[in-house]
């Protein structure tokens, strides 16, 4: 067991303070002067912290500590029953960028029923997957096309676009799906893959129009 000094004790108390600014300052202080004795507290706080900006600072503070200390703690969080613990651990692992953790990004995480966990898993997978795994990852991600609301679909499209050329075959296959929602999402993502500067909403609208009318009646335009 690590003995904590008075300063560490004050920082731990501040991490649990009612005021979000106090918690933010505590995470900043810990990251500025990394202390391995506080890593467990940072990881634990990630699982319950309600404020986005504080969570982001907690992640930054964890990235300031040696990966050999933080990564095992974060990998353990991937098995947590708390969705926020899984989501924030995935986010932090993507920021640390240790590709040795790729095998821990299981299919169950990529298909997690919680949208925020799945979105974090998609982003982390794109960052951490070896190039040889990109085609397989794209095919797996493509099975999620049509899932969720706009923000979820945009996250998935961005992940597939980030994979680049390996996403092409999976998107072409999905664009022939019997599900019109899947077809529209696949076509919109194909357009973004060809033109990353194209607006997502415009791409979706055009794809839905083509799916509704059929390519012939839509003037043969692809999306």
Query: Which candidate, 105, 91, 171, 108, places its Cα nearest to that of 133?
Result: 105
- Percent of all residues in the chain with a pLDDT value above 70, rounded to a whole number: 87
Whether residue 87 contacts residue 123, with contact meaning beta carbons closer than 8 Å, is answered with no
Contact 27, 58 (CB under 8 A): yes
**Does residue 123 share a domain with residue 20?**
yes
pLDDT tens profile 169-208: 999 999 999 999 999 999 999 989 988 777 666 656 666 6
For residue 8, the model assigns a pLDDT of 84
Residues 6 or more apart in contact with residue 122 via CB below 8 angstroms:
110, 141, 144, 155, 156, 159
> Which domain range does residue 150 map to?
134-216
The answer on 117 and 185 residing in a single domain is: no
87 and 32 in one domain?
Answer: yes
Residue 180 CB neighbour total at 10 angstroms: 13
Asked if residue 1 is part of any domain, the answer here is no
pLDDT digits (tens, 9 = 90+) for 37-70: 999 999 999 999 999 999 999 999 999 999 999 9
- Whether 106 and 186 map to the same domain: the answer is no
Q: Is residue 4 part of a domain?
A: no
- Mean pLDDT calculated for residue range 204-217: 58
- How many domains, the chain? 2
Lowest mean pLDDT among 1-10, 47-56, 69-78, 102-111: 1-10
Statement to judge: residues 66 and 107 lie in one domain: yes
For residue 221, being part of any structural domain is answered with: no
| Residue that terminates a domain, selected from 85, 100, 128 | 128
Above 70 in pLDDT, residue 25?
yes
pTM: 0.86
Q: How confident is the model at residue 78 (pLDDT cuts 50, 70, 90)?
A: very high
Q: Classify residue 2: in a domain, yes or no.
A: no
Mean pLDDT of 100-113: 97
Residue 222 has pLDDT above 60, yes or no: no
Mean pLDDT of 72-91: 98
pLDDT at 7: 81
Q: Are residues 160 and 81 in the same domain?
A: no
Task: Please give the C-alpha separations between residue 175 and each of 123, 154, 163, in angstroms, as whole numbers.
Answer: 22, 16, 18
**Residue 147 belongs to some domain of the structure:** yes
Q: What is the pLDDT of residue 223?
A: 33
Same domain, 122 and 165: no
* Helices 39-46 & 6-15 angle (0-180, nearest 10): 0
Q: What CA–CA distance (Å, rounded) separates 95 from 101?
A: 12
What is residue 204's predicted lDDT score, i.e. its pLDDT? Answer: 63
Q: Which of 68, 100, 128 is the last residue of a domain?
A: 128
The per-residue pLDDT of the chain, averaged, comes to 90
CATH number, residue 107? 1.25.10.10
The residue from 101, 128, 155 where one domain ends is 128
Q: How would residue 212 be classed by pLDDT, with cut points 50, 70 and 90?
A: low
Q: What is the mean pLDDT of residues 208-214?
A: 61
- How many Cβ atoms are within 10 Å of 4's Cβ, its own excluded? 15
**Are residue 18 and residue 114 in the same domain, yes or no?**
yes
């Amino acid at each position: 067991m690590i003995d904590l000094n008075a300063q560490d004790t004050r920082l731990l108390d501040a991490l649990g303070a009612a005021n979000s600014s106090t918690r933010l300052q505590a995470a900043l202080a810990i990251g500025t002067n990394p202390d391995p004795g506080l890593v467990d507290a940072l990881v634990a706080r990630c699982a319950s912290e309600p404020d986005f900006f504080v969570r982001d600072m907690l992640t930054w503070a964890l990235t300031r500590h040696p990966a050999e200390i933080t990564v095992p703690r974060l990998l353990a969080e991937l098995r947590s029953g708390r969705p926020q613990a899984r989501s924030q651990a995935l986010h932090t692992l993507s920021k640390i960028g240790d590709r040795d953790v790729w095998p821990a990004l299981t299919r169950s995480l990529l298909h997690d029923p919680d949208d925020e966990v799945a979105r974090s898993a998609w982003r982390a997978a794109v960052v951490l997957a070896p190039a040889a795994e990109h085609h397989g990852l794209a095919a797996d991600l493509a099975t999620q096309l049509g899932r969720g609301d706009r923000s979820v679909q945009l996250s998935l499209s961005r992940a597939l676009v980030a994979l680049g050329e390996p996403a092409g075959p999976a998107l072409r296959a999905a664009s022939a799906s019997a599900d019109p929602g899947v077809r529209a999402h696949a076509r919109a993502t194909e357009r973004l893959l060809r033109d990353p500067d194209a607006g997502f909403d415009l791409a979706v609208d055009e794809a839905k129009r083509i799916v509704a009318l059929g390519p012939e009646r839509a003037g043969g335009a692809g999306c």
